[in-house]
Amino acid sequence: MTSGKDQLILLVEDSAITRKMEIKVLNSLGYHNILEAENGEHALRLLRDNPHVALVISDWNMPGMGGLELVRALRSQEAYRDLPFIMATGRAQMKERMEAAEAGANNVITKPFAPQELQSAIDETFAGKTLAGRQHSRVRQPERTTSGRLRLKVAHIQITDHLTLGVVKSLIETGKLKPRHFELETLCMSSWNPVQKALAEGEVDAAFVLAPLAMDLFAYGVPLHIILLAHKNGSIAVRKKASAQSLKAMFQGKTFYIPHELSIHHILSHMFFTGLGLNPGMGSNAGCDVLYEVVPPVRMPEFLSGQSSACGFMVAEPIGTKAIAAGLADELFLSGELWENHPCCVVAMRDEILEQHPEAAQELVGMLVHAGKYISVNPDNAAEIGVDFLDPQGTLGLKKAILKNVLADPMGVKTDDLLPLADDFVKIQDYMVERMGLGSRIDVNRLLDLRFAEKACLQAGGVSRRSVLHDATDFAHKKVADLENQAVRSSKANLDREGQYLIFTLMDQTYGLDVLTVKEIVGMMPIRSVPEVSSEVKGVVNLRGKVIPVVDLRLKFGLPELPYHNRTCIIILDIPRTDRIIPLGIVVDTVSHVENIKATQIEDAPAYGLGAPLEYIAGLAKDGDKVRILLNVHRLFSHPEALLPNQRNEGQEAA
pLDDT at 246: 79
Are 555 and 533 in contact, with CB atoms under 8 Å apart?
Answer: no
Taking the model in full, what pTM does it have? 0.75
Residue 148 to residues 142, 155, 361, Cα–Cα distance (Å)? 12, 22, 16
Task: For residue 509, tell me if it sits in a domain.
Answer: yes
Q: What is the DSSP letter of 99?
A: H
* Amino acid occupying residue 519: K
CATH number at residue 92: 3.40.50.2300
pLDDT at 86: 94
Q: Domain check: are 303 and 389 in the same one?
A: no
Are 475 and 338 in contact, with CB atoms under 8 Å apart?
Answer: yes
Instruction: Tally Cβ neighbours within 10 Å of residue 233.
Output: 27
Sequence-distant (≥ 6) Cβ neighbours of residue 366 within 8 angstroms: 452, 455, 456, 459, 460
Q: Domain check: are 377 and 331 in the same one?
A: no
pLDDT(164) > 50: yes
Task: For residue 648, tell me if it sits in a domain.
Answer: no
Q: Domain check: are 316 and 460 in the same one?
A: no
What digits encode the pLDDT tens for the residues 140-150?
A: 889 999 989 99
pLDDT at 655: 30
d(CA 413, CA 407): 6
Are 260 and 254 in contact, with CB atoms under 8 Å apart?
Answer: no
Q: Domain check: are 72 and 214 in the same one?
A: no
pLDDT(455) > 70: yes
pLDDT at 137: 53
pLDDT(70) > 90: yes
Q: Domain check: are 321 and 455 in the same one?
A: no
Mean pLDDT score across all residues of the chain: 88
Instruction: Tally Cβ neighbours within 10 Å of residue 574.
Output: 16
pLDDT(231) > 90: yes
Query: ∠466-471-474 over CA atoms, to 5°?
Result: 135
The upper half-sphere exposure of residue 20, i.e. CA atoms within 13 Å in the direction of its Cβ, equals: 3
Of the candidates 272, 324, 316, the residue with the CA atom closest to the CA atom of residue 497: 324
Task: For residue 490, tell me if it sits in a domain.
Answer: no
Task: For residue 489, tell me if it sits in a domain.
Answer: no
pLDDT at 193: 84
What digits encode the pLDDT tens for the residues 252-296?
A: 999 999 999 999 999 999 999 999 999 999 865 668 899 998 888
What pLDDT band is residue 633 in, cutting at 50, 70 and 90? confident
Residue 134 to residues 116, 427, 608, Cα–Cα distance (Å)? 19, 31, 62
Q: Domain check: are 243 and 206 in the same one?
A: no
Lowest-pLDDT range, 82-91, 493-502, 559-568? 493-502
Residue 527 to residues 182, 518, 548, 565, 585, Cα–Cα distance (Å)? 53, 20, 10, 15, 11
Residue scoring higher pLDDT (307 or 444): 444
What digits encode the pLDDT tens for the residues 332-380?
A: 999 999 999 999 999 999 999 999 999 999 999 999 999 999 999 999 9
What pLDDT band is residue 425 in, cutting at 50, 70 and 90? very high
Which of the listed residues 449, 484, 519 is the one where a domain comes to its end? 484
Sequence-distant (≥ 6) Cβ neighbours of residue 386 within 8 angstroms: 160, 163, 166, 398, 400, 403, 407
pLDDT(463) > 80: no
Task: For residue 1, tell me if it sits in a domain.
Answer: no
CATH number at residue 261: 3.40.190.10
Instruction: Tally Cβ neighbours within 10 Å of residue 504.
Output: 24
Q: How many domains does the chain have?
A: 4
Sequence-distant (≥ 6) Cβ neighbours of residue 175 within 8 angstroms: none
pLDDT(485) > 80: no
Lowest-pLDDT range, 62-71, 156-165, 201-210, 593-602? 593-602
Q: Domain check: are 507 and 633 in the same one?
A: yes
Give the best-scoring range by mean pLDDT among 132-136, 180-184, 298-302, 623-627: 180-184
Q: Domain check: are 503 and 604 in the same one?
A: yes
Secondary structure tally for the chain: helices H, strands E: 23, 30
d(CA 339, CA 467): 7
**Where are any strands of DSSP class E within 462-580?**
468-469, 499-506, 509-514, 518-523, 537-543, 546-552, 569-576
- Cβ burial of 255 (10 Å; 0-12, 13-18, 19+) is buried
Q: Domain check: are 429 and 559 in the same one?
A: no
Element (H, E) at 458: helix 451-460
What digits encode the pLDDT tens for the residues 515-529?
A: 888 999 999 999 999
pLDDT at 397: 77
Give the best-scoring range by mean pLDDT among 493-507, 529-543, 571-585: 529-543
What pLDDT band is residue 494 in, cutting at 50, 70 and 90? low
Q: Domain check: are 362 and 433 in the same one?
A: yes
pLDDT at 393: 80
Residue 243 to residues 10, 311, 319, 327, 329, Cα–Cα distance (Å)? 41, 11, 22, 14, 11
Lowest-pLDDT range, 85-94, 193-202, 598-607? 598-607
pLDDT at 412: 87
What pLDDT band is residue 654 in, cutting at 50, 70 and 90? very low
Give the best-scoring range by mean pLDDT among 124-133, 490-499, 505-514: 505-514
What digits encode the pLDDT tens for the residues 42-66?
A: 999 999 999 999 999 999 888 889 9
Task: For residue 245, tell me if it sits in a domain.
Answer: yes
CATH number at residue 520: 2.40.50.180
pLDDT(488) > 50: no
Q: Domain check: are 227 and 364 in the same one?
A: yes
pLDDT at 648: 41
Strand partners, 523: 569
d(CA 479, CA 268): 14
Strand-strand pairing, 345-350 and 310-316: unpaired
pLDDT at 650: 40
Residue scoring higher pLDDT (113 or 437): 437
Instruction: Tally Cβ neighbours within 10 Å of residue 35.
Output: 17
Task: For residue 527, tell me if it sits in a domain.
Answer: yes
Element (H, E) at 274: helix 264-275
Domain of 247 in residue numbering reads as 235-340+471-484
Task: For residue 654, tell me if it sits in a domain.
Answer: no
pLDDT at 608: 56
> What is the average per-residue pLDDT within 212-224?
94
Q: Domain check: are 352 and 440 in the same one?
A: yes
Residue scoring higher pLDDT (191 or 463): 191
Which of the listed residues 429, 449, 484 is the one where a domain comes to its end? 484
Q: What are phi and psi of 27, to 5 degrees?
A: -60, -40
pLDDT at 60: 87
Which of the listed residues 134, 157, 192 is the one where a domain comes to its end? 134
d(CA 20, CA 36): 10
Of the candidates 247, 256, 308, the residue with the CA atom closest to the CA atom of residue 283: 256
Q: What are phi and psi of 596, to 5 degrees?
A: -90, 115
